[in-house]
Each structure stands twice: as C-alpha cells, then as structure tokens.
Structure 1
C-alpha cells in the first residue's frame, strides 16, 4: 500500500495496517464503515468530506497517511506483536526522514505495542521522534464502538489545534488531556 507522504508535513496520520478493501483499492481507510474521512472533515482538518480515492489531495493541506504494519489483513488482531514492533522501527525511520510536525497514530493498542509503551493513552505523548511530536488518536474503524464520530472528531480537533499552534509558533490552547 503506497504511503501518501511528503517532507515536512503538518500531520502524518498512521493507520494500524491496510484492511483488505484498502489493499484492493489502493486507497487508505477505504472500507465504507471506517470513520477516518468523515472525522477528518468534522475535526476541521479538511474543508469538505473527502473520498478515499482523493487521498493524494491531503498533501495540499500538509497531511499524509502511512501505516504501522504494511501487511493487509481482514482485522488488525491478525497481526503479531513482532510485526507491530518491527513496524514501529520502520515507522520511526520514516518519521526521522520525513520530519512531520506531528505523527498521529490512530489506535492506542497499536501504538502501545509498536512502541512498547503500555501506559500510553489517547492524546499527546511524551515521546518524540527527533523534532516530531507524537499524538495517539482513537481508531476510526467501525469496530471501535467506544468512540462516536463526534467524540473522535473532538480528539482529532485537539491535534489540529495543537499542530496549527506549533507551526505558527503560537499557543492555541492546552493540548494535554
């Protein structure tokens, strides 16, 4: 699954791994029940609701997409802890090369496993990768019933505000939980 990336992005969103629909279409977060695209719009990252097929347009907004693990599966629970940890190492190297302002991992369990940080929670992390700050977002999969689109959009908006403040050098509110 090709990444949607460029040097110096405002936010690099990082999914867990491609689902089968994503792998088949070549578009990130392509499964109809996935809430990534609606939440991205509701949170103010994009001025309109985008389709997965429009993913390359994210670059114009300073946004990109990658994954922790490259292997496509029907469900993320098919991945091994070893795959997550190796994905975390590969992702770290990618972030060091691309230097986005923020890395946003969508899925707290994936983040905990990939970066061996059992205490991580949704929100900004203490960890940084070079100058890149790290934020953990809720998994937008339709299987994640703990979060509604509205509550997810609130968390995505917290990241957006923090990223906008960091890029302009101003503080736009406390990004801490």
Structure 2
C-alpha cells in the first residue's frame, strides 16, 4: 500500500517513489547520468553518488543531503529545488556531474586511482560542455584527484577543462565539520564570484 501511495505521489508532483532498503542496497555500482548542457554558469561536481542516489537515479537524492538547501540559502536559486528538478536546475545555468560515476555507500570506498582517473575525465567533460566554473564538492577528493595536497576550500589556481575552479565542502551529512549555515556561506562565496563574472 505504501508503494502505491508513493507511486501516486510521484504522478502528482514528479517525485519518484521512495526506494526500499533492499533497492538502496542493490544500487551499489550504478551510475547516474550527468545533468549538463552547454553554457552553464557552474558545473557542480560531487565525489560520487551514494546508494540512495543510485536507487533513485537522482543526484544528491538522499533526504537530508544538504546540497539543495545550501544552493537555495546561498541564493543560487530563488527557492529550494528538489532532487528531481533537473530542468529547473539547468535552466538556472547550473549542472551536476561526479568525479567517479559508480555509487558507493561512502566516498571513503573510492580508491586514489579512481579519483585520479575521475579528475582526467572531468577535464575532458568540462572542455566539452564549457561551463564558466567547476565547483568540486569535497576538498579531500579534489586533493587526491588533482594531486594538490595543500589545496583548501575556495578558489583554485588550476583550471579544469578551461573552466575556473572552486572547491566547496562536501554537502553530505557525514561531513560534520560544516553545518548547513557554513555550507551556505561557502556556496555564497562562489555565487558572488560567478555573479561578478570573474
């Protein structure tokens, strides 16, 4: 009955049905298509999708992931978008990709080799799509992918595929170092730069 209600809900507002625990567990190793189009202002790059995202096919799909509220609180979006609002995100000049495509329970499961290969693939993808900025969500992953052990959150000297580069904190709830207000502050620093056109 609950699944029937979820299906009706999905028909009504576009929200997909909530996956069962078994569906989430079975999502390991899946991939999610990038949300990109030419001329993006910012291409947000997660480290890799979690199992919940793999089960739903939605970036930052787990309830409680702080990406969507941080995007809104930083005024990148005038309202809080939901993980299934792909076109609304793209219409605002914002896209999403990942350093590593495969889903895992935790980003710590990724190998250094996967992150380095993901960095190379991101260079190619970015050159093809041509965003003004690439924002990598996670300093540890950025350091490993681009062999920059001393990088800190914020703007980077490196360009990725011709795009300016910024590193943001990972919005996962597992990142206890950054509260939602602090995340939103970091997102807003990037938004200020994007709006200045620098």
TM-score computed with the length of structure 2 as normaliser: 0.82
The answer on whether the counterparts of 1:28 and 1:55 sit within 8 Å (CA) in structure 2 is no
Q: How far apart are residue 130 of structure 1 and its match?
A: 4.5
Q: Which runs of 5+ in 2 are unaligned?
A: 1-31
2:66 pairs with 1:6: no
Q: How well do the aligned residues superpose, as a CA RMSD in angstroms? A: 1.0
The aligned residue for residue 62 of structure 2 is 31
The answer on whether the counterparts of 1:19 and 1:72 sit within 8 Å (CA) in structure 2 is yes
The answer on whether the counterparts of 2:35 and 2:96 sit within 8 Å (CA) in structure 1 is yes
Q: Paired residue for 1:134, among 140, 147, 165? A: 165
The answer on whether the counterparts of 1:104 and 1:137 sit within 8 Å (CA) in structure 2 is yes
Q: How far apart are residue 55 of structure 1 and its match?
A: 2.7
SS in structure 2 opposite 1:153? helix
Q: How far apart are residue 113 of structure 1 and its match?
A: 0.6
Q: How far does the alpha carbon of each residue in 1:12-40 deviate from its partner, in whole angstroms, 9 at most, with x for none?
A: 00001010011110110011121000000
Q: How far does the alpha carbon of each residue in 1:85-132 deviate from its partner, in whole angstroms, 9 at most, with x for none?
A: 000000110011111000000000010011111011000001013531
The aligned residue for residue 124 of structure 2 is 93
Larger Rg: 2
SS in structure 2 opposite 1:65? strand
Query: Which stretches of structure 1, 4 residues or more, deviate above 3 A after TM superposition?
Result: none
How many residue pairs get matched? Answer: 167
Q: Which runs of 5+ in 1 are unaligned?
A: 172-177
Structure number with greater CO (CA < 8 Å, separation at least 6) is 1
